[in-house]
A and B are shown apart, each in its own frame.
Chain A
């Protein structure tokens, strides 16, 4: 007996009991949906983080006072750390041998940007940068020019605007050469950045870059600086990170054996931090899905048992005209499996759609997690087999004459 025959019979039986089939499917759909939706959303998040981090550029790492993606407790503890000062940064720079690029930047203030009567919300990030920092952040100036050493030395009141800011405040014509009011001062706009899109829910085009010296002058020297270091090449990357860590520990007088009082992170370490975090989410979702698939499986078994009883006569007829045990067994298992797989496919489809709501929210391209779709499909198949076997076995063991007598 060919498999296609078994499949046709199974589909016919499922179609004959549409409503019951649909109700049975629901459990499977929900179980698979929850796996697929969460995995898809996590994939979107991961892509978002990776694309956000790729702004750091190749073999680049960053040092800052506060931890990245930490729990509240760790964060509160880190608040007590000493700031990373300009002095420390300067001394680190002098000691570094393996660093190709070394730049210092300062983040942390939000301001209103204004030109004439048009102004932004008071949420534009203000960043102090050195000329090489602009490049190290992978910011591309699409119009005008970037920062120069002169701007730093003179603490010039110049600014490069993020794309969103430029378009908001200077809707007509070019912003370059105009005067923009940022906070309490007036700056000459020297350039506009290319748009980056949003990463991690934040808007990475809603910011302005000032010369670091100007920034510190305006917003106070008492703030912790970020240090961005690019290794000379990929081979010395790890070594370069170690060099930076050891030197900064010495500079900040961290006793041997104590943990770092600063955070050194790279694209890779951030991704692994993210993955550490998501493992719990994955475990949780895995558990919930497991429970709901278990419940769905028991539901399937129940339905199949009812179906076997209802179709006792049919089984008797089939046996009377020559169906073997294996034929009946196969027929009912395939029926359960196909039923589950139909539910699984629905679950996968709406799971991927649901998970990609995250992609819309983060303005990321949609993802199609092929691996999880396949895993989801395999799991539903397995559920079908596991919970279909017993009813099918019962059906196949019916005595032909007794089954025929059944009314």
Chain B
């Protein structure tokens, strides 16, 4: 077994605020996970807003250094500063789709310029036709086309178009690992399915592994192999996606599943959550506990 990605006991602390109000935020605490080269998979991260999902992703991408612990990609550590060339090689292998497409693009730069730069840099293309073909190919995969996008600035696209352009950009280098932070949060259900099906086919047909961060439990169930659920910096449950989601064990995981809105009572204005469940999950915040193995292969944090 060779590891593609190995995240070992990784923590990240931030200091927030000014001199008088300094506060340390433990954004990620002791996270461990690893992906195999031989079994490409869709590895999903779900969890509380502010629980450290993006921070974990940014550390995997080498954009943020862990406070402690180590991350390696194909045996090489990424949790250290490296040379420019090494960084470029790494980026050809691990591509990000950032959380908010409105922030991901420079508002003053045309979208096709971004795509073109990516194609030129990672695919070493320089001919106009080759560049256009690479861009159009990637855009077609997400239901767009170069004709629609060419010459346009980020603010000239709709939210969903922009989000899809960000995915297309990440696909251009044909990376073996894609780190996608809420890539379908702004598209309708049909498009959402076609994009997650694209991720699925990248895995099944091209051996690409995907770290898929999402708040959408339904697509997580539909495409993931394994998943982790995070609460306030800690992984509270980890395992086979369907095993966990069919029958979540940690109180926060249960609360999460119970909070999914349904259309059953459309029009009745139901927005209440069982206060008992909220309380149960809330009481565990800040407690360390430890992850233990269960017979069905999952790990759950117990206290």
A and B interact: no
Residues of B near any A CB (own CB < 8 A): none
